[in-house]
Structure 1
């Protein structure tokens, strides 16, 4: 299994919805077949209940013709990307492959892992300064 969408995979995905999706729902761009609608993962609480809801929504979206998912590392303290991963795992046995699904993400943010720590300064010092990722100078 590849770790990203492919031309062949997204074409295969679009074919699964031939005759069911509206004309023009899938469009070729970036040499892939993308659904004209996507699902985003920005808002919500950083908690288990929201994780489960996002995972279920992503599964339902992919099962119904949406193969574009938007996320970023800072969405819900990394939990949105993990919910996407959980959804992809649930979709695999249902015949949906990673190659069929486009995940758009953004980097460049420094974000806590899972929830806001009680002391953000201490967290960033411990995780980034002490590990030598950044210098305190």
Structure 2
């Protein structure tokens, strides 16, 4: 019985020690259900579970709720547009808040976002409401608005 308990404790510890990528980290946070569903619908799960590193400016469920329901439903059904919107929220490399410099940054989608540090960090005007959620393959910065590529 003692060996069984020890084996169970070791197995539990190894599960707890398993790495979390940006997708697993977003799922565990609990306030990115729409974002995670969108990433799944776009077929980007494997990409964002990849080596990276990535910096994800992640809109919360509340940010997605600001979009008109018809627009969000249409977006979720248009895989190409959805992929463009989601990859517009991702920057190659891990950028922590202390390293953010004002200016334009190229996104994985190919467009640019404008970062500002005046009065807090913003991305195209969207406020970073929580920074530096570190994952094994990058970092997540929580934003209050869904970014739309031009």
Q: TM-score, normalised by structure 1?
A: 0.27
Q: TM-score, normalised by structure 2?
A: 0.26
